[in-house]
Structure 1
Amino acid sequence: MQTILKSEDLYLFNEGSHHRSYMQMGAHPSAKEGVWFSVWAPSAQKVAVAGDFNGWSHSQHPLHVLDNSGVWSGFVRDAKIGQQYKFIVTTAQGQTLEKADPYAFYTEEPPRTASRICSLQYDWQDGEWMKNRGRVQKADQAMSIYEIHLGSWKRNLEAGGRSLTYRELAAELPKYMQEMQFTHVEMMPVMEHPFYGSWGYQTTGYFAPTSRYGTPQDFMFLVDELHRHRIGVILDWVPSHFPSDLFSLSNFDGTALFEHEDPKLGYHPDWNSLIFNYGRHEVRSFLISSALFWLDKYHIDGLRVDAVASMLYLDYSRKSGEWIPNRYGGRENLEAIEFLKDLNRAVYEHFPDVHTIAEESTAWPRVSAPTYIGGLGFGMKWDMGWMHDTLEYFSKDPIHRGYHQNQLSFRMMYAFQENFVMSISHDEVVYGKGSVYNKMSGDEWQKLANLRTLYAYMYAMPGKKLLFMGCEFAQKSEWNHESSLDWHLLQNPGHKQIQDLVRDLNHIYKTESALHVMDFEPAGFEWLDASDSHNSVYSFFRYDKDGNIILCAFNMTPIPRHCYRLGVPQKGKWREILNTDSSSYGGSGVQNSPDLSSEDISGHGRPQSLCVTLPPLGAVYLKWEKSDGH
């Protein structure tokens, strides 16, 4: 029979290597009147499509199976863009299932579950961004990411406090990102999800932006506007598990099609969800196609892959006897490992100027190393260890910090084993963990001072940066997805000054090459002193490849350190380019003179040194001023 699918498409799909299967699968309007429908359901007895075009008849428009591919396809002449539909699957046992299209580009707004026929036509205006993206996103460029949940960043108070639409976000978010000097926004999953409270991590629509905030074209407009403001867009993407809702992927053709039949392999105890069968070729085609779809059709600049650790280990969050070892008797999920390598190879082959970023919480080796040297192939990995150690350190009373000096210095033992993103994400401000502001020790002044020092320390350390929305102005309460951030706090000078500091840190990080060019290279970092536990002081240098040097020093106690001697590698003037204790940031105003000159006094094994004032609970960045002779 005639079909939109060619024999080579079916072959590649069944082989697991059809990485753009969204071009044929699902619902595709034809140049003639009508729509092609195609769906994978190899164990079905029969499949039909029902929708607005046939009064939701279960029998009027049967599909036909194509060879031995398990793919059913057919053309419906009366179907039109905008109409709703579902696949009617009759199982081998005769049971009738009404299923949403796994490849749907658009859906009804939850809690309704039908798929919608749609076109992805859009007149993009981001040509300049796309042309320059490869340069902007190189590893030696600054990358400062603002993580956002679209439904709760801001709310429309004039419309009953509802979430902003994609178009409303496009009017505000790009300008805010530009004003705050962030380079990228990372959106928690926009893929369609039936339960709003899952924040998108219980995905059912792997090819559809949620209709809660508008149409696919509305979401394209938001991405377009961000690009026109020179802001990169990263999407959270969840190939680790999916919900068991009956209308969606689970038990799709009456069998465990996308998942495993055995719950020891196919059920995720942490999230009460199902685990993809990565060993099934067609599942790999489906998932890799989903990843490439967002990069292709929505011009997305990177994918942050959720819960990678849960994919790598068969015994993840399971007790003895609750999991099945691999064929060698080990705990590694061999099929998931190969899937992740295939995914990253496909992404970087087709889109070499984007990023894949792993949220991986264990010590799995070479997560961000290329597959040809045995790595998983990701571009970067979240540094979860740094985040836990750092937040715990800053929660301690300064009087005790001297006993925990290595809690911050330990990171540099492993900092260059991966290409790390230093992340303070949404996971740290929910489920009773408190806000980042409330994790800081001390009274209100000390909390804000600690927070200023934490952010300055984060931006000085090697690695790309990520901050969750609200952290940039010291949100006091935990994040609540049902309401807006507490923007009214910006009427308080202390919170506005934290926002000012984050903006300035973003600017310094972007404009000072020593702070970003060698984020992933050991030569870009050198400890000056990591062992002054008596004073709870840390100091180190950051370098670029052109001889620029920035000295970063941190006083983790409320006691000012006057004439604290810091050895320096170069004679000359050192200019203070940041002081978190500046009165403009709400500090006490303990600062150094604009230009410090080195002295012929040895310090830290160096012939020259500086006499520096370290402010209370504060950080300073000092930049070496090259003379004409250097």
Structure 2
Amino acid sequence: MAKSTKTKKEVVAEPSVPKKTRKKAEPVVEAAETAEIAVELKNVEEYSLFSEFDIYLFKSGKHYKLYEKLGSHVVEFKGVIGTYFAVWAPNARFVSVIGNFNGWNRGSHPLSARWDGSGIWEGFIPNIGRGEVYKYFIHSNNHGQDLEKADPFALWCEVAPKTASVVWDTWYEWQDEAWMRDRRKNNALNAPMSVYEVHLGSWMRDPADPERFLNYREIADAMVPYVKEMGFTHVEFMPIMEAPYPPSWGYQITGYFSCASRMGAPQDLMYLIEKLHEAGVGVLMDWVPSHFPGDAYGLYNFDGTHLYEHADPRKGYHPDWKSYIFNYGRNEVRSFLISNALFWLERYHADGLRVDAVASMLYLDYSRKHGEWIPNEFGGRENLEAISLLREMNEAVYKEFPDVQTIAEESTAFPGVSRPVYLGGLGFGMKWMMGWMNDTLKYFEKDPMYRRWHQDQITFSLVYAFSENFMLPLSHDEVVYGKGSLIGKMPGDDWQRFANLRLLFTYMYTHPGTKLVFMGGEFGQEREWNFQQSLDWHLLNHGSHQGMKACMKALNQTLRSQPALHDYNFSPEGFEWIDAQDRDNSIVIYMRKGINPSDTIVVVLNMTPTPQYQYRIGVPAAGSWEEVFNSDSTAYFGSGVSNATPIEAEPIKWHGREQSALITIPPLAGIVLKRKG
């Protein structure tokens, strides 16, 4: 495959559009100050990166690589190196480029409006290039508003609180060919997938200066060996697009095509991704097509009108997040969003997109009271335009990148989220299993003595576990806003809290579906997540936290090494109950099955602190069985209750099976048994 995703220097042929068809910008502000600049701008009228077919696709909502055309691009034109600028502003009367290079003079470097009704303004400015700071000045037809806007397609931005765009490129000499060649099997639906969810700004700060963010390359030096050691198959970055408001955690994006500038340049982020790939770790990215903030320099009111957002606040304003909702029915906005999804997959070699807040996109009445929303054309509450966009986005992604995954954060029972578009689904590869997460955490928060009355809460998920391709999330949302950390939710004394957390993860890792764990949970982070601080890595000086980390490492290894835990990630063929009815002892027993019958494992979970000795369970086959995992191991800070010798099955009917065995079940623990040989 090609080493780079963009050439160092783009050489563009002159277009065939006659100069007389160009509409020159009206001089509503100061005219160009020198004759030399005027000559340069006259040359601009002969130049464009757009073909007629590009414009057709853009206006049809089918241009999926707009980032190759709109924005700023360093190019050579008639032997001169400079920067081509193009911006969509159909309701503008005048558009110019302003920046340090011209003293932010609004009149010195105007752009020309295309003749074809596309609303695109473009131009070439000689002798400026990579690193140049700029914005667009827009004089609107709507009440003559004067606006200074960042470039929606900028590849990099100034570090906040500064708000200008920066001329940059995404050229990088990638060294991850081996990963990219083989990633299809690593991202397959039957592959082991355990995802480590990370907020880069608070995973680790500079130990010498806790206020300083590590840059992408420093993060790579620390994170890559850690994630590899822990055995996670993927990391998921919470949004790393430019979002200058830190409390939004990255979900209020102002630069959709720019990485977060406070941690480095695009090539620095590419280095981090490349190093993860070299370590055999995939990279998923959070993507936010559901809303954007109302910053004066951003997408909102871009050309003095509701260009990117829906004009009617009942469809265009999000009451929960005080932000603005994209106009999913506008073709040019659809091209913008789908292009953005493909951009991160192509230019940054991302292995998948986790799409945020899908439920808020699907329903017109989401978080709205009666009278605050508009029904669709059929009188329903479904947002048909957003549904159409998500389907088209998934079709485009899987057509261009069939070896990646898209994952929906969708919290309702909307049907077919992870089913193909041709079958009427939304086309996602996976969907977060929010019901499992809610029921599981509520169950584990209960004192073990009361769990006998809530057995159904821990078993109910298997009623619907195969209705979608589910990912089991224990995400950042569960450890903020007063919810406490995962270890903080666990009842009992210190030993029981850690035993409960190890049991929770054992249940999670042996339950059908892929897994997602938010950073810190893997070693028992004590305090609630704070995006302004590093994780408490010093806790690993304590045996209980060391044991939790070792347990998570072992679970990841077990997930990878036991085909029964992933061969049928999303199929009922891979799961079978042995017994879910021992409410008095809060014992749960089930099988996970692989393609090869010899890979079958038996999972036994004890939800109380009372160990069970000589406990008979039905097993699927005769012979000797052995523990391949035990969350109560002393290596994990457990009590060490185990089945030390091989367990011999006997021809005694139990749990509806011909064979059974007597086992020891440790307290607040899960064990995994597998037949020897």
Task: Give the secondary structure class of the aligned counterpart of 1:34.
Answer: strand
Which residue among 326, 329, 339 is the counterpart of 1:289? Answer: 339
Corresponding residue for residue 72 of structure 1 = 121
Kept in 2: contact 1:189–1:201 (CA 8 A): yes
Q: Distance in 1 between the 2:324 and 2:645 partners?
A: 59
The within-5 A match list for 1:57-206 is 57-66=105-114, 67-92=116-141, 93-206=143-256
CA displacement, residues 133-190 of structure 1 (integer Å, 9 cap, x when unaligned): 1122111110010000000001102235312110101111111010000000000000
User: Structure 1 residue 269 and structure 2 residue 319: aligned?
Assistant: yes
Corresponding residue for residue 517 of structure 1 = 567
The within-5 A match list for 1:412-431 is 412-431=462-481
Which residue among 516, 527, 530 is the counterpart of 1:477? Answer: 527
Q: Could you list the runs of 5+ residues in structure 1 that have no partner in the other structure?
A: none
Q: Distance in 2 between the 1:240 and 1:103 partners?
A: 18
Which residue among 560, 565, 577 is the counterpart of 1:527? Answer: 577
Q: Distance in 1 between the 2:365 and 2:494 partners?
A: 43
Farther off after superposition, 417-426 or 151-160: 151-160
Task: Give the secondary structure class of the aligned counterpart of 1:332.
Answer: coil
Q: Distance in 2 between the 1:58 and 1:102 partners?
A: 19
C-alpha spacing 1:160/1:149, structure 2 compared with 1 (3 Å): closer
Which residue among 321, 325, 328 is the counterpart of 2:378? Answer: 328
User: Structure 1 residue 358 and structure 2 residue 408: aligned?
Assistant: yes
Task: Give the secondary structure class of the aligned counterpart of 1:151.
Answer: helix
Letter in 2 for 1:112: K
Kept in 2: contact 1:40–1:71 (CA 8 A): yes
The within-5 A match list for 1:445-484 is 445-484=495-534
C-alpha spacing 1:561/1:160, structure 2 compared with 1 (3 Å): closer
Letter in 1 for 2:66: S
Q: C-alpha displacement at 1:51, in angstroms?
A: 1.3
Task: Give the secondary structure class of the aligned counterpart of 1:235.
Answer: strand
Kept in 1: contact 2:626–2:643 (CA 8 A): no
Corresponding residue for residue 29 of structure 1 = 74
CA displacement, residues 443-468 of structure 1 (integer Å, 9 cap, x when unaligned): 11111111111000000001001000
CA displacement, residues 522-555 of structure 1 (integer Å, 9 cap, x when unaligned): 1000011111111100000001011111000001
Task: Give the secondary structure class of the aligned counterpart of 1:619.
Answer: strand
Letter in 2 for 1:609: S
Q: Distance in 1 between the 2:377 and 2:113 partners?
A: 34
Kept in 2: contact 1:192–1:208 (CA 8 A): yes
Structure with bigger gyration radius: 2
Q: Distance in 2 between the 1:236 and 1:594 partners?
A: 46
Which residue among 89, 97, 102 is the counterpart of 1:49? Answer: 97
Q: Distance in 1 between the 2:430 and 2:585 partners?
A: 35
User: Structure 1 residue 570 and structure 2 residue 615: aligned?
Assistant: no
Corresponding residue for residue 230 of structure 1 = 280
Q: Distance in 1 between the 2:649 and 2:448 partners?
A: 30
Letter in 1 for 2:438: H
Task: Give the secondary structure class of the aligned counterpart of 2:554.
Answer: helix
RMSD across aligned C-alpha pairs, in angstroms?
A: 0.8
Kept in 2: contact 1:53–1:80 (CA 8 A): no
Task: Give the secondary structure class of the aligned counterpart of 2:171.
Answer: coil
Q: Distance in 1 between the 2:411 and 2:160 partners?
A: 32
Q: C-alpha displacement at 1:52, in angstroms?
A: 2.1
Corresponding residue for residue 20 of structure 1 = 65
Corresponding residue for residue 614 of structure 1 = 665
Normalising by structure 2, what TM-score?
Answer: 0.92
Q: Distance in 2 between the 1:132 and 1:285 partners?
A: 30
Give the number of equivalent residue pairs.
Answer: 626
Kept in 1: contact 2:210–2:533 (CA 8 A): no
Letter in 2 for 1:110: A
Corresponding residue for residue 601 of structure 1 = 652
Kept in 2: contact 1:191–1:200 (CA 8 A): yes
Letter in 2 for 1:4: L
Corresponding residue for residue 318 of structure 1 = 368
Q: Distance in 2 between the 1:584 and 1:342 partners?
A: 49
CA displacement, residues 265-319 of structure 1 (integer Å, 9 cap, x when unaligned): 1100100000000000000000000000000000000000000000000000000
Q: C-alpha displacement at 1:196, in angstroms?
A: 1.2
Kept in 2: contact 1:53–1:78 (CA 8 A): no
Q: Percent same amino acid among aligned pairs? A: 54
